[in-house]
Amino acid sequence: MNTRSISFRLVAWYGGLLAGIFLLLCALLYLDLRRFLEDDLSRAQSRRARQIAATLLVHVKQTGETYVASQTKDWYEPEINDRFIRITRADGTLLYTSGIPNDGSFNPTDVPAFPPPQTESSRKVTLPGGKTLVVGSLNYQPPGSPAYLIEFGELLDPVETMLEHLFLQLALGLPLAVIIITFGGYLLVRRALTPVEQITRAAERITQHNLSERLPVTQTGDQLEQLSISLNRMIARLDDAFQNSRRFVADASHELRTPLTILRGELENIAEDTRLDRELRDRAASLLEETEHLGKIVNQLFTLSRLDAGEAQREWARFDLSELAKTTADQMSLLAEDKGISIDCEAGAPVWVEGDRVRLKQVVVNLLDNAIKYTRGKGAIQLRVRGVNGDAVLEVADNGIGIPPESLPHIFERFYRVDPSRVENSESAGLGLSIVKSICTAHGAEIEAQSTPGSGSSFRVKLPLAKHS
């Protein structure tokens, strides 16, 4: 899990805050309820003490103490009801005290004597064994008699059991609630971020070849809509810039072609004019070579600009790639034999593809041209065409000088050359493989290169097979 992601941080904050608020609320609820129940219990004890005073002790002078004691026992049945009742005379002697409750939950003699309050009070007594007795006391003086201290008590046990139960429920329910709500929050955050993912995916698909496409704009009037609109504006500006630069290269290479042709014609005339001085004719011939090199670069740039403009799709047709590879290998074998290099073409069964035949031939030519150019001495080039899993695969492998690993990622870039001094007549400009790459892209094909310096390179083009028609 990515702990720095916006969804994780949002959910963590949300969950933390929620847990904090819940904890505080539950603690308040628990403490308040505890206080209320304890107060209520002690109020009930005082009330009963007052009851004894008002109904029994008030007539003690007439009824006698024994009557009070027996009536108290009969009415309140302290042993059955787990209650504590004690009536003490002003001199400290006992008029009545309840017995041990039937369930033996406490022993009344364990309750220490209490100095009589001014009128009324209540207290909590902790008994041996840890139980708490809530006792209400009343100092009451019946008419014509000395004062009595009436004590009435009940165990706190039931309240404590209930609070324990509540505590347990809160302790289990709270984390569960936080987990469920946090998970819900996580789903919501995911949902809220889905448009961002869509924008990202759409933006990922946009390359220099489909800059006319735009990102989806959800009409929500929020930051996400703003983001898509801003990104679309940026893509539009990029599109403009790309088109301007393409147009510039296309115009420049086109405009250069006519003067170059004239220049070449004139230089040819000079080089062949026998009336002229020999040295002048030699210099014109060498200039002619340079002009031809320049013409080649201009032509390559022109090809690239037309490919950029999507022109490869014009002559779309279905043809056999094996046959194309064979004829191209035949045509180039003369050039290779001049350098003592053999071209072995392994292309048996027809492999049907769809595309611009002339452009794809250019791919084979450029790859073979490189293989011949960058192989020294007795070389062997292998050209292979076959169908693999719905794809046509064309491979050109040589046993030439190879490409250093640090240069391998750059060889398809425009004007990139590994080291110009590696070829004797340095007529290359580093555009051959960029043209190959552009043609492949226009055909939905992939190209990859592998190389080991000193032992050779191989280029592999993977093109979708033609659909059966």
Ligand X SMILES: Nc1ncnc2c1ncn2[C@@H]1O[C@H](COP(=O)(O)OP(=O)(O)O)[C@@H](O)[C@H]1O
Q: Which residues lie near ligand X (CB under 6 A)? A: 370-371, 374, 398, 400-403, 411, 416-418, 422, 428-434, 457
Terminal Cα-to-Cα distance of the chain (whole angstroms): 49
Between 89 and 422, CB nearer to ligand X: 422
User: Which residue has the closest beta carbon to Mg ion?
Assistant: 432
- Please write down the long-range contacts of 234-242, taking CB distance under 8 Å and 24 or more positions apart: 235/206, 235/211, 238/211, 239/211, 239/212, 242/208, 242/211
Residues 378, 340: contact at Cβ < 8 Å?
yes
CB–CB of 253/295 below 8 Å?
Answer: no
Q: Which residue is nearest to ligand X (CB)?
A: 432
CA distance 277 to 236: 59
Most distant CA pair in the chain, distance? 167
What Rg value do the Cα atoms of the chain yield, rounded?
A: 51
Closer residue to ligand X (CB): 433 or 440 = 433
C-beta of 195 vs 432, nearer to ligand X: 432
How far CA 85 is from CA of 91, 133, 135, 402, 450, in Å, comes to: 18, 12, 9, 107, 100
Residue 364: other Cβ atoms inside 10 A:
24
Among the listed ranges 2-10, 36-44, 54-62, 366-374, the one in contact with Mg ion (CB under 5 A) is 366-374
Interacting stretch for Mg ion, rule CB under 5 A, among 26-34, 60-68, 364-372, 454-462?
A: 364-372
Give the span between the Cα atoms of 65 and 245, in whole angstroms: 118
b/e code 399-431 from CB counts within 10 Å (16+ = b) = bbbbbeeeebeebbebeebbeeeeeeeeebbbb
**Position 400 contacts Mg ion (CB under 5 A):** no
Q: Which of ligand X, Mg ion, none interacts with 108 (beta carbon under 5 to 8 A by kind)?
A: none
- Residue 450 CB, shortest distance to ligand X, in Å, is 11
Task: Tell me if 374 sits within 8 A of 400, measured CB to CB.
Answer: yes
Q: Whose Cβ is closer to Mg ion: residue 48's or residue 373's?
A: 373
| Binding track, positions 319-358, relative to Mg ion; x by CB under 5 A | ----------------------------------------
Task: Decide whether 85 or 397 has the Cβ nearer to ligand X.
Answer: 397
Q: Which helix (H) or strand (E) holds 435?
A: helix 432-442
Residue 401 interacts with, from Mg ion, ligand X, none (CB under 5-8 Å by kind): ligand X
Residue type, position 12, single letter: A
Look at residue 379 and give the partner it binds from Mg ion, ligand X, none, a contact being a CB closer than 5 to 8 Å depending on partner kind. none
Q: Binder to Mg ion among 46, 98, 300, 370 (CB under 5 A)?
A: 370
Question: Applying CB under 5 A, which part among 49-57, 269-277, 327-335, 425-433 lies near Mg ion?
Answer: 425-433
Q: How far is the CB of 214 from ligand X (least distance, A)?
A: 33
What is each CA distance from 462 to 349, 364, 394, 443, 446, in whole angstroms? 17, 13, 7, 10, 5
| CB of residue 235 to ligand X, shortest distance in Å | 29
Minimum distance from residue 316 beta carbon to ligand X (Å): 26
Nearer to ligand X, 291 or 434 (CB): 434
Minimum CB separation from ligand X for residue 208, in Å?
Answer: 18
Which residue has tokens 């007052």? 50
Identity of the residue, 154 or 308, whose beta carbon is nearer to ligand X in the bound complex: 308
Tell me the H-state helices in 273-407: 278-308, 321-338, 357-373
Question: Which residue type does 80 have?
Answer: I
- The CB-of-225 to ligand X minimum distance in angstroms stands at 44
The kind and range of the H/E element at 464 are strand 456-464
Q: How far is the CB of 438 from ligand X (least distance, A)?
A: 11
Q: How far is the CB of 409 from ligand X (least distance, A)?
A: 11
Measured from the CB of residue 332, what is the shortest distance to Mg ion in angstroms?
13
The one among 432, 438, 451, 461 contacting Mg ion by CB under 5 A: 432
The binding site for Mg ion (CB under 5 A) comprises 370, 432
